[in-house]
Amino acid sequence: MKSYKIILTAFLLIGSLSMANGQDNAKHEDTEFYTPVPKEVVPGKTSNSAPSDALVLFNGKNLDQWVMADDRSQPARWKVRNGIFTVDKNTGNIETKQSFTNYQLHLEWYIPANISGEGQARGNSGIFLASLGKGDLGYELQILDSYENKTYTNGMAGSIYKQATPLFNPARKPGEWQTYDVIWLAPTFNTDSTVKTPAKVTVLFNGVVVQNGFELKGPTQYIGQPAYRKAHGASPIKLQAHGDKSEPISFRNIWIREI
C-alpha cells in the first residue's frame, strides 16, 4: 500500500509539472483576437438620443415611417404636435413601414397628468414588438399608467402582456415622460413551421431591468394560453390605440438599431 501511494504521488507530480510546462510554452497572443474589427458607431449626445447607425422612427416632425395597421396602404393618422405624437383612438393602431427581426429599440411615452379611469382603463396602450396582422395580434409589451394604479401584474406597464410580470415597478407618475429600451430577438422556425427558438426579450423601463431575457411562449393573447401557431419572419412594430375611455397617451424619440 505504501509503494502504491508513492507511485500515485509521483504520477500527480509529473502531471502538474506537465501542465505548468504547457502554460510556460503558451503565448499571450494565442488568446488575443484582432479580427474581425467591430464596426464603429458614434453614440448619441445623450443616453436617450439615437446613435449614428439607428433608424429614427419618429423625428418629432411627422409619421412618415408609420402606416395604419389595418390598412397598410394608408399613412398613419395619429396627431403630431410640438415634437410629439398622440394616439387617435378613432383611427386604430399604427405600425412601422419597415419590418424587423432582431433589434434594439428606444421609445418614450407619456401618460397625461389629467389621466382618468382605473386598472386597465387608465392610459392603456402597447408596443407589439412584432406585429402579426390586423387587430391586436403579435407580441405585446404593455403600456399603462402603473403609478399607484392597481391591476393584474402581468398586465401592468413593463409586462409582456398576460405572460410575464415585470421584475420591478419603476413607473413615474402621470405628467412625466417614461422610457423603454428593448432588446428583441425574434422567434425562428423549422421548415415544418415548428418553433426552433422562441422569441426572447429584455426590457429596461426608466433605466431599470424589468424583463431579463424572458422567453415568450408565443404571441400574447387576451384570453387563453399563448402558443406559436404559425411561422413568420420579419415583422413591423405596432403601437396600440386601445379602446378604453381614458385620455390618450403620447410618444416621442423613437429609434431602432437592427442587431
**Where does residue 73 rank: exposed (0-12), middle (13-18), buried (19+ CB within 10 A)?**
exposed
Are residues 15 and 93 both part of a single domain? no
Are residues 18 and 93 both part of a single domain? no
Measuring CA to CA, how many Å separate 178 from each of 56, 141, 193, 200? 18, 14, 37, 22
Domain holding 83, by residue range, is 55-258
What's the number of domains the chain is made of?
2
| pLDDT computed for residue 24 by the predictor | 67
In a domain, 159, yes or no: yes
Give the type of residue at 139: Y
Are residues 148 and 72 both part of a single domain? yes
Are residues 22 and 68 both part of a single domain? no
Are residues 25 and 66 both part of a single domain? no
In a domain, 50, yes or no: no
Give the type of residue at 58: F
Cα gap 210→144, rounded to integer Å: 14
Cell representation of residue 85: 405624437
> Can you tell me which residue has the cell 378613432?
90
In a domain, 36, yes or no: no
Are residues 92 and 126 both part of a single domain? yes
In a domain, 149, yes or no: yes
- What is the domain-level CATH number for residue 217? 2.60.120.560
How does pLDDT run along the chain (259 residues), one tens digit per residue? 555 555 445 545 545 555 555 566 888 888 889 889 898 988 998 889 999 999 999 999 999 999 999 999 999 999 999 999 999 999 999 999 999 999 999 999 999 999 999 999 999 999 999 999 888 889 999 999 999 999 999 999 999 999 999 999 999 999 999 999 999 999 999 999 999 999 999 999 999 999 999 999 999 999 999 999 999 999 999 999 998 999 999 999 999 999 9
| pLDDT computed for residue 25 by the predictor | 81
State the CB neighbour count (10 A cutoff) for residue 196: 12
Read out DSSP for 205-233? ETTEEEEEEEEPSSS--SSS-----S---
Annotate 174-189 with three-state secondary structure: CCCEEEEEEEEECCEE
